[in-house]
Structure 1
């Protein structure tokens, strides 16, 4: 078994890589596309999303796996890929459904005592506003 490692770097943290190692037998080294079953791809996606806190969509996952398969076929043991991924916290913001507090607050008349114009010809505000 030979260890192959994928290192994912994101735009938000270019100096930090999120690694995912796999041990491949001779059969999978010769045919790496057979190793990446839907279950393995889902496991890879979940691991990278958990580690990076970024949303890895299907097209990102396909790009990651295609690059990794190509590198394994070329004999590279380490694969590094850099992607611009949205944060998980930002991905579902548009789907939030919060109706908020719909109660109308109690209305009360404003307190106008002591409020008068400093200069000018206006009458006191109490004469303008009569509750």
Structure 2
């Protein structure tokens, strides 16, 4: 046989619980009334998502930056990015072959590729 407890049998105290008498007052103060004007209501706009951007901290700096920017303006951004991608891939292959010839492991090879990227940024190749 199951025993049920209803609210009238409860002898304890709810204290300052939100389920007590304060709940009705809280609802009244937090919700805008229907008689209030629409200008006092708060409208929440959809958040705007910014596109992630990978910016070069040395953009426009470096000895080769003017040549890189000029070339990009002449051949167009799309074609320029294709050429740059091919050049980076070839340079990575050269580093890989060099690491094979001296017996360097993959971790050292990755470190050399990162170093080449940092140097390219400083010299302005990635402007």
Q: TM-score range by the shorter chain?
A: under 0.3
Structure with greater strand percent = 1
RCO (CA 8 Å, sep 6+): is it higher in 1 or 2?
Answer: 2
Q: TM-score, normalised by structure 2?
A: 0.26
